[in-house]
Structure 1
Amino acid sequence: MPDFESAPGVTLHYTVDDFTDPWTPAPTVILLHGLAESGEAFRAFVPYLARRHRVVRLDNRGYGRSPALPADHPWRFDSLVADVVALIRHLGIERAHLVGGKIGGTIALATAARHPELVGRLAVLGGPASLTGMITRTPAWRAQIAAEGVRPWVRASNAGRLGTRMSPAQLQWWEDLMSGTAASTLEGFLQMVPTVDVTAEVERIRAPTLVVTTTGSGLGSADEVRAWQERIPDSRLVVLENDSYHVAASDPDETAALVRDFLAE
């Protein structure tokens, strides 16, 4: 369960799952999680990917077992991209496949656009190219977290995030996972979120790209997603029938299988 320093004062934790044959060189795939999560959000993906890939699940700065950050931490989206680049270099590899969910997908898009030499294949799972529309949600979210704490906010917002098909046990698991996030991390992070927009950058992506969304995503319609996906030269879009916007959580087996087959091409 290693840690490394990606920037002065910023330590990142990551988990490695590797069930490949020791005598066969295996590519590395880095999984990037979304808001109020950790690498544990991709636990269902490990059985699908780790037989043929070295699977690295990063806890983004401030999340999971990466140390919580103070509310006044100077959050910049560019720093999150730099963290991924630092991880690739720390692992001592030339390039990696990137798989990102929600804003983790946005981070993956930006990394592939800005550092094409580091990215082999790219999978974006419910990740929008622009989060500027979140300005209508984040002030109320911050106010609720400040007044009531993280868990009530998670419980109140998970209906749109996870959709209506999850069992009570599934919803409880995700609530428990997300509620472990420090309120101080969320306060700063949520101020940054509506500033993120990489739409103008996606056409610079050279990695083969898989984009997965749902028919009822609250982060953008399938047509809105297609509008930026089609600007990525070698890309395809898969739309799953669901009303969640966190497709890696609501449809983990189908999504993980799509990623596995895509990485094997």
Structure 2
Amino acid sequence: MSSSSSSTLMEEAHRTIFEAGLQVRYAVAGKAYVDKSLANGASNFARPMQELVTEACWGLLWTRPGLERKQRSLLNVAMLCALNRGSELGVHVRGAVNNGASEVEIRETLLQAAIYCGMPAGIEGFKVAERVINEMKDEKEVEAKSKSSNSVFCKLRTRLPKSLPEFRISPSCLSEAPPGHIGHQASIDESENNFPYKDFILLRPKSTHNSTTRYGCPRMCQQSSKLLTHPNGQITHVIDDNFTDPWKPSKTILIQHGFGRHANFWYHWIPILSRHYRVIRRDARGHGFSSTPKPEDNYDYSIDTILSEIADTMDQLGVTKFHFLGESTSGMVAEAFAVKYPERLHSLIICASPTFLPPAAISLFSFGLRSWPEACRKLGSRGWGESLIKVPGTLSIPDKGYVDWWISQVALSTGEGLAGYAEFLSVLDARPFLEQIRTPTLILAPAKSAATKLEEQKMVASKIQGSKLVVVHCEGHEIYVERPEDCQKAVLEFLSELETSA
């Protein structure tokens, strides 16, 4: 191998680890803190340190199996308290909360550190931790108040930093801005020098407007990542892509992934779909960057809760009606959504979706442990994913690079997050919904999936009135990856037929 090839491979490896580390760092420490650290360390002298921290600490250590993120956070809280590193301790107290640690767990960790490392360090640690916890409570209270506001504009004390562009707002779209709530920030297009409202942020209270309207702001947002808070306090992460022509009406497609995956697994579909549709990719509850319910939340893990969160997600994004593409177990959720909210859907697309998980499937996902949720908790998300890919008919991709990336992405979720959703899926049965579905439906059926047999897919087609069945021939379950071109062609043809017949 030539030295140039070796150097290229090394650079690619560093870049991959850095990107994985950056995603974990964002999830644990918070995007605002990380972006500030990266900006402060952007000089030629300081940048190598930020790269080392992101790559070695977050990309190599925090992505390892064996410990959940919450456990790593609590270890850091104890060690930083002992070292009397107040600034970093504050960051990791915040990270511990983000990773699901309760106040009691943080308090007991600091008490343990105080006894073994010294009372002065413990006292200082308590001061830092209490300050951070109170700050986070205040932030949550401010966020809740802002969500209840009906004002169209909120004056900012300082101008938004250029590092936070999510919508490029120009004077031409301000008069057209619909009422609604987006719940995130927008930057101002400074090319309009005569625009007098450069210190304003656009907030749109909830509305029934959808992306087919002529309103300029949503259509100008080509890609953005958003965190949306539901009335029950849970947070949903979405990625919003729109590369359609701004002057033409367009519809929206919602994509929700299968178990253990998250929105970014569908990255390769975006260039094809987003040129014609606004595409929303949503992290399911407990997956990716969506929140994991804590015991004190008293979260109702039911199909009604899950469906209401999906509806609220689209409400907050200003989308009234949409195409719903549910992959694997999210196809079961999509089928239930089509029955409860039929007026919200243009169409239903289910991809490699079982109708329920029989005992044999749940036993398979348990990998010799007592239950599927216990396997998620004990193995952790990475360990569970590594066990799954050994099963024939699951992930049948020969590219080792993709398999390694797949495992690293599964590891972004926590074992606890997956466990809670596994408990929900273990009792979910979509079969009673099938004959009630009146939404135009496309069924993408895998020929050799370990999770759903072709006979089951044909049964689904026979139950859903007027549905279209397309069999995708490949070796595994994740047909959207193994045969993306075949799946995308079927989806676009189906949607085109709907448009023609409308």
Give the TM-score category using the shorter length.
Answer: over 0.9
2:340 aligned with 1:118, yes or no? no
Sequence identity (%): 25
In structure 1, what is the Cα distance between the partners aligned to 2:235 and 2:493?
33
In structure 1, what is the Cα distance between the partners aligned to 2:339 and 2:398?
34
In structure 2, what is the Cα distance between the partners aligned to 1:244 and 1:44?
18
1:1-265 alignment to 2 at 5 Å?
A: 1-70=225-294, 73-133=299-359, 134-139=361-366, 140=369, 141-160=372-391, 162-265=394-497
Deviates more, 1:252-261 or 1:29-38: 252-261
Query: As a proportion of its length, which structure holds more helix?
Result: 2
In structure 2, what is the Cα distance between the partners aligned to 1:74 and 1:166?
40
In structure 2, what is the Cα distance between the partners aligned to 1:228 and 1:67?
32
In structure 2, what is the Cα distance between the partners aligned to 1:145 and 1:80?
20
Q: Residues 183-224 of structure 1: CA distance to partner in whole angstroms, max 9, x if unpaired?
A: 111222212222011111112212211111211111222112
TM-score, structure 2 length as denominator? 0.50
Q: Structure 1 residue 138: deviation in Å?
A: 4.3
Q: CA RMSD in A?
A: 1.9
Asked if 2 retains the 8 angstrom alpha-carbon contact of 1:213 and 1:245, the reply is no
Q: Structure 1 residue 175: deviation in Å?
A: 0.9
- Which amino acid in 2 is paired with 1:118? R
Deviates more, 1:132-141 or 1:37-46: 132-141
Q: Residues 5-28 of structure 1: CA distance to partner in whole angstroms, max 9, x if unpaired?
A: 223121111111101000001001
- Per the alignment, in what secondary structure is the counterpart of residue 417 of structure 2? helix
Asked if 1 retains the 8 angstrom alpha-carbon contact of 2:365 and 2:388, the reply is no
Higher RCO (CA 8 Å, separation ≥ 6 residues): 1
Q: Counterpart of 2:95?
A: none
In structure 2, what is the Cα distance between the partners aligned to 1:135 and 1:163?
17
Q: Between Structure 1 and Structure 2, how many residues are aligned?
A: 265
In structure 1, what is the Cα distance between the partners aligned to 2:397 and 2:272?
22
Asked if 1 retains the 8 angstrom alpha-carbon contact of 2:380 and 2:414, the reply is no
Deviates more, 1:137-146 or 1:120-129: 137-146
Asked if 2 retains the 8 angstrom alpha-carbon contact of 1:99 and 1:125, the reply is yes
Query: Aligned pair in 2 of structure 1 residues 65, 163: CA closer, same or farther (>3 Å)?
Result: closer
Query: As a proportion of its length, which structure holds more strand?
Result: 1
Q: Residues 120-149 of structure 1: CA distance to partner in whole angstroms, max 9, x if unpaired?
A: 011100111222443323443444443332
- Per the alignment, in what secondary structure is the counterpart of residue 213 of structure 1? strand
Query: Aligned pair in 2 of structure 1 residues 147, 4: CA closer, same or farther (>3 Å)?
Result: closer
Query: Aligned pair in 2 of structure 1 residues 144, 94: CA closer, same or farther (>3 Å)?
Result: closer
Query: Aligned pair in 2 of structure 1 residues 138, 64: CA closer, same or farther (>3 Å)?
Result: same
Asked if 2 retains the 8 angstrom alpha-carbon contact of 1:74 and 1:188, the reply is no
4+ residue segments displaced more than 6 Å = none
Query: Aligned pair in 2 of structure 1 residues 92, 165: CA closer, same or farther (>3 Å)?
Result: closer
- Per the alignment, in what secondary structure is the counterpart of residue 448 of structure 2? coil
In structure 2, what is the Cα distance between the partners aligned to 1:251 and 1:162?
14
Q: Structure 1 residue 98: deviation in Å?
A: 0.5
Deviates more, 1:71-80 or 1:48-57: 71-80
Q: Residues 7-57 of structure 1: CA distance to partner in whole angstroms, max 9, x if unpaired?
A: 312111111110100000100110011111211111111111101100011
In structure 2, what is the Cα distance between the partners aligned to 1:175 and 1:116?
36
In structure 2, what is the Cα distance between the partners aligned to 1:35 and 1:7?
24
In structure 2, what is the Cα distance between the partners aligned to 1:250 and 1:227?
24
